[in-house]
Structure 1
Amino acid sequence: MTTENQNLIKSAEKAALEVLLHNSKGPFLDLPRTAAWGYPEPYTRDLLISILGIATSKNPALINSMRSVLETLAKNQSYKGQIPSFVHDKNNLGSSDTTPLFLMAVGIFRKVLDDSLFLKDAADKALLWMEYQCPTSHYLIAQQPTSDWRDEQWVPGYGLFVNTLTYTGLKLLGKDKNAKNLGNAINQLTYASDESHTSPHEGLAIKDKPYYALWSYKVYSSDRFDLLGNSLAILSGLAIPSKAKDMVDCIKAASASMQKNKALAPDLTPNFFPFIEPNDADWLPRYSEFNKPGDYHNGGIWPFISGFYIAALVAIKKYDLAEKELLALTKLIKIARNKELEFGFNEWYKAQDGNPMGQDWQTWSASNYLFAAQCVAEKRTPFFDSIQ
């Protein structure tokens, strides 16, 4: 990497830390903001994902702010163990990914604090809640559509992200037996790709494809590609190395094809592909306003997800590609809606032209940039190395 590019990355890391410190206190109980200006609320999902960059930064102020987030969530946890969607609001429930994110975050923070019993009671309640999210005895976690981070896109039944996230949380908390059972269930073939039903129940693996299904339920599934869920599958060790490397080859080929067809401008992978088009069976009328092809959850480029993917590349020793992706991400996050900002760290960017479409100075965008940069610099994946 050239000195110029190295300096650019260092500048971006410094800016990311500035964003996180700026956002570390907001108007709700002094809890962190989700974005500097657009989202003053402490969204549980965003803040728990941001633990990766905060933990690797080792910044005392940020560590203390994240501890406050986790302890407040424990106080606002429902009687049955569910984690709320807003850190400060125990009555705002319904998200399928906040509770497994809490498990992942507690597992990471126990290592940060060197305290294996940190929030034990809350974690135990959350683990029990996740067990009850399995409607059968086959371990897969079920969810309602639009209940995970994709609040404008339907993921019914057994979603990949929620299941790989739960697997990751179990591994980080040392619940290896539970993780093994869930991992075996995820690695079963989907019924849609296994017409003879050789598997005892539906899973999320797809016959003749190197990646996991977006979702699966009984005889139906979606084989559209979910970058977040599949990156977690690699990072957590759920996807064996050969599958992970084949998956990366598939991603590279798909991205090159989209660039050739003018569906993708930046040198980064969309969060989701192929895009859902108006004439497709899984298109919903609401998408025409909120989830157009190449937008938002339907193929937008999300820096926090790119951070997970870069870390996944490091996990399988694709160091050169990880460095290339990090540089592409660095150039993208410079682009802001507010032209006075040196680095935008925007929420998401439109696939077809790379324009910033969300809120600038988004906490999880800045945090996962820091995490990805450290993974590339050190050629390791903090917290995940021990569970792969």
Structure 2
Amino acid sequence: MQTASQLEIDEARKAAIEVLIHNSHGSFHGLPRTAGWGYPEPYTRDLMFSILGIGVSENQQLIEKMRVVLETLAKNQTEHGHIPSLVHDSEDRGASDTTPLFLLGVGIFRKITNDKLFLQKAIAKALRWMEYQSPSDRYLVAQQPTSDWRDEQWVTGYGLFVNVLTYSSLRLHNQNKRADSLKHDMESFTITNGILHKHVHEGLVVRRKPYFAFWSYKIFSSERFDLLGNSLAIISGLASHTRAKEMIIWIENECKNLKNNGSLAMNLPPNFFPFIKPSDPDWHTRYAKYNNPGEYHNGGIWPFICGLYIAALVAAKRYILAEKKMIELTKMVKLSHNSSLKYGFNEWIKAQNGMPMGQDWQTWSAALYLYAAKCVEERRVLFFSDEIYSNQ
């Protein structure tokens, strides 16, 4: 990477640490806040993802704050093993992704601290909870609409994101037999002919396309592209090297098409495409207020997801492309609502015009920037797939 670009990345890394330190003490029991001025609450999913960046920061103040977060989540875990959506509130329940994210977060934290038995009792309960999330009593876990991080978008049944999280967490906790079985079920084809035969299990593989389906359940499915779920599939080793490389070529080509037709203004991919439009059968009336095409979950560009996409490029050994995208992400994290900020680390960007639309100084935007930069620097994916990929 050119010296000037590396200097800009190093400067942005320092700014990301500043954001995380600023956000590390919030309004609720001193737990970290989710954004610098908005979102004072400690959202579980945001903070669990942030462990990736905090882990590579080697900042002991931030690492110890994550210990407190994880211990607080364990104290607020339900009797049956479910993890709440807010770290401090045991009654804020119902999310499909918080429990596998807790498993992921503790697994990564154990690697950071070398404390192999950290929160062992809570982990056992969380693993048991996840076993009971399969309607077929097999391995794919199901969810209710708007119950994962896409709280303004419908994912019905077997969602890619939650299942990849579950697979990744099983690997981290050496539940390899169950992880292998989950992978096997995910690699079945989605059912698109409207007929479900006895003993045929639906999966998440899309025919004639290199990526995994957005969601699938019985004879219903969505083949729209989920960047977060598919990036995690590459990072975790769920996607083979061949599939990963083909998927990245497909993503980059589709983004060129989006740019050519005026749907994408940036050189980083939207979180979801093709966008759902009002004329589409999967459009919901509420989307007109919160989830218009190219916005929020319906195709907004999220810096934290772009950070994971860059890590996926590293996992697939697309090092030069990863460096180029790192430079683009460095430009993006400067965007802000507050003009006095040199670095906004904004929540999400509108796809069509590149304007920041979310909260500034978003915790996971800063943390995943650090994680992406470290992966690019070392040319390896840290924590939960570096060992997997070294053997492929």
User: Shift of residue 386 of structure 1?
Assistant: 2.0
SS of the residue corresponding to residue 7 of structure 1 reads: helix
Asked if the contact 2:271–2:302 (Cα under 8 Å) also holds between the matched residues in 1, the reply is yes
Alignment partners' CA distance in 1, 2:172 and 2:65? 21
Q: 1:387 to 1:171 in 2, by over 3 A?
A: farther
Runs of 4+ with >3 A deviation: 193-199
Asked if the contact 2:196–2:219 (Cα under 8 Å) also holds between the matched residues in 1, the reply is no
SS of the residue corresponding to residue 192 of structure 2 reads: helix
Alignment partners' CA distance in 2, 1:159 and 1:107? 22
User: Shift of residue 2 of structure 1?
Assistant: 2.6
Letter in 1 for 2:339: K
Query: What residue is the counterpart of 2:167 in the other structure?
Result: 167
Query: What residue is the counterpart of 1:108 in the other structure?
Result: 108
Query: What residue is the counterpart of 1:329 in the other structure?
Result: 329
Alignment partners' CA distance in 2, 1:195 and 1:332? 45
**1:85-121 deviation per Cα after TM superposition (whole angstroms, max 9, x unaligned):** 0000000001000000000011111111112111000
User: Shift of residue 39 of structure 1?
Assistant: 0.8
Query: What residue is the counterpart of 2:82 in the other structure?
Result: 82
Query: What residue is the counterpart of 1:255 in the other structure?
Result: 255
Query: What residue is the counterpart of 1:51 in the other structure?
Result: 51
Query: What residue is the counterpart of 1:35 in the other structure?
Result: 35
Query: What residue is the counterpart of 1:202 in the other structure?
Result: 202
Query: What residue is the counterpart of 1:348 in the other structure?
Result: 348
User: Shift of residue 193 of structure 1?
Assistant: 6.5
**1:148-193 deviation per Cα after TM superposition (whole angstroms, max 9, x unaligned):** 0000000010000000000000001111111111111111111117
Alignment partners' CA distance in 2, 1:95 and 1:112? 26
Alignment of 1:132-143 (within 5 A): 132-143=132-143
SS of the residue corresponding to residue 13 of structure 1 reads: helix
Asked if the contact 1:103–1:126 (Cα under 8 Å) also holds between the matched residues in 2, the reply is yes
Letter in 2 for 1:146: T
User: Shift of residue 137 of structure 1?
Assistant: 2.7
Gaps of 5+ in 2: none
SS of the residue corresponding to residue 221 of structure 2 reads: strand
SS of the residue corresponding to residue 164 of structure 2 reads: helix
Asked if the contact 1:264–1:352 (Cα under 8 Å) also holds between the matched residues in 2, the reply is yes
- Give the aligned length: 388
Query: What residue is the counterpart of 1:145 in the other structure?
Result: 145
Alignment partners' CA distance in 1, 2:232 and 2:249? 17
Query: What residue is the counterpart of 2:364 in the other structure?
Result: 364
Asked if the contact 1:153–1:297 (Cα under 8 Å) also holds between the matched residues in 2, the reply is yes
**1:53-75 deviation per Cα after TM superposition (whole angstroms, max 9, x unaligned):** 00111100000000000000000
Query: What residue is the counterpart of 1:386 in the other structure?
Result: 387
User: Shift of residue 200 of structure 1?
Assistant: 2.7
Query: What residue is the counterpart of 2:157 in the other structure?
Result: 157
User: Shift of residue 243 of structure 1?
Assistant: 0.6
Alignment of 1:218-229 (within 5 A): 218-229=218-229
Letter in 1 for 2:3: T
Correspondence 1:305 to 2:284: no
**1:188-227 deviation per Cα after TM superposition (whole angstroms, max 9, x unaligned):** 1111179786983000011111000000000110000000
**1:218-261 deviation per Cα after TM superposition (whole angstroms, max 9, x unaligned):** 01100000000000100111011101111001101100000000
Query: What residue is the counterpart of 2:177 in the other structure?
Result: 177
Asked if the contact 1:191–1:197 (Cα under 8 Å) also holds between the matched residues in 2, the reply is no
Alignment partners' CA distance in 2, 1:19 and 1:61? 13
Letter in 1 for 2:286: R
Alignment partners' CA distance in 1, 2:7 and 2:371? 17
Alpha-carbon RMSD = 1.3
Alignment partners' CA distance in 2, 1:172 and 1:340? 41
SS of the residue corresponding to residue 216 of structure 1 reads: strand
SS of the residue corresponding to residue 309 of structure 2 reads: helix
Asked if the contact 1:266–1:354 (Cα under 8 Å) also holds between the matched residues in 2, the reply is yes
Alignment partners' CA distance in 2, 1:56 and 1:25? 20
Q: 1:134 to 1:315 in 2, by over 3 A?
A: same
SS of the residue corresponding to residue 156 of structure 1 reads: coil
- Under a length normalisation based on structure 1, what TM-score does the superposition of the two structures give? 0.98
User: Shift of residue 43 of structure 1?
Assistant: 0.4
Alignment partners' CA distance in 2, 1:109 and 1:289? 38
Query: What residue is the counterpart of 2:271 in the other structure?
Result: 271
Correspondence 1:97 to 2:92: no
Identical aligned residues as a percent: 61
